[in-house]
Chain A
Amino acid sequence: MNRPFPSTLAPVPPIAGRTLDAQLHLMDRQALDNDGVPVTTVDDLELSGPALETEIPEGTPAPILTALLTGPVLGTRIFGGRPPSSRLIRIPWKDVADVGVVIKLGVSGDSLDAGWVERWIRDKIIARIPGGRHDPR
């Protein structure tokens, strides 16, 4: 394929806000809750639009990032595809406090569905092991 554009492209017009590239800054990052406890990793992102296979009229406002998604994606990462949308767990973008090396959330991890497996293992398995209900001494 021939190179369709010259190597020197025009820079993007100046924008005011912080830039986040999905693959570079968000996907696969670890998410920590407001106490710094790991909650999950970001497996995918959800946007507010647009409708698929529909012509986008000029002047349509850009879609916004609504949620970070996580869920059972190990198999689909290896073999392709993704789980049905209903199986994915959403962390709303409004709960995100900062994006850096990790994504910091402004809420407690106990309130999020994303950490239910760890909570279930703690309550149903670890707690039944003698000494499993208190910190090690």
Chain B
Amino acid sequence: MILGDLLGTPVYDSDGGRLGRVADARFVVDGAPQQLMAEARLLGLVVSPHSVSSFLGYERTGVNQPWPLAQMLEWRHRGSFLVMWEDIAMIGEKSVRLREGFTAYSPALDGAGQE
């Protein structure tokens, strides 16, 4: 599948409650080694309740300058969470459904852009 089709798709819980939209997809480079980089597997999806997409990752990277812009973007992305691949029950053309009892993790990355 093409990732662009998934970004911006509404996300629902197992009862059909709307949680937000897919803002980003997180990969982790820990798959089978290859000649150059190892395989990158899908770790999970970043879901944002209020915005369609992410902008510069302000809600994930802890960047707080310039102050007004950071405040505005943090507010816009408030409530964002990361849901792991294991908690995704179905990916459809127009919706993503999560499993019952899924865990919402913090989407934050450290200063080097890592978990």
Which A residues have a C-beta under 8 Å from some C-beta of B?
1, 3-5, 7-12, 14-25, 43-47, 49-50, 52-56, 58, 61-65, 69, 82, 85, 88, 93-99, 106
Nearest-Cβ distance from residue B12 to partner chain A, whole angstroms: 12
- In contact, A18 and B103 (Cβ under 8 angstroms): no
Interface residues on B, range: 35 or more
- In contact, B78 and A22 (Cβ under 8 angstroms): no
- In contact, A12 and B27 (Cβ under 8 angstroms): no
CA distance A53 to B92 in the complex (A): 4
Which B residues have a C-beta under 8 Å from some C-beta of A?
1-5, 7, 18-19, 23-31, 34-44, 46, 49-50, 53-54, 56-57, 60-61, 78-79, 81-82, 84-86, 88-93, 99, 103-109, 113-115
A21-B109, A24-B57 known; A65+B39 contact, CB < 8 A:
yes
CA distance A49 to B42 in the complex (A): 10
CA distance A104 to B54 in the complex (A): 24
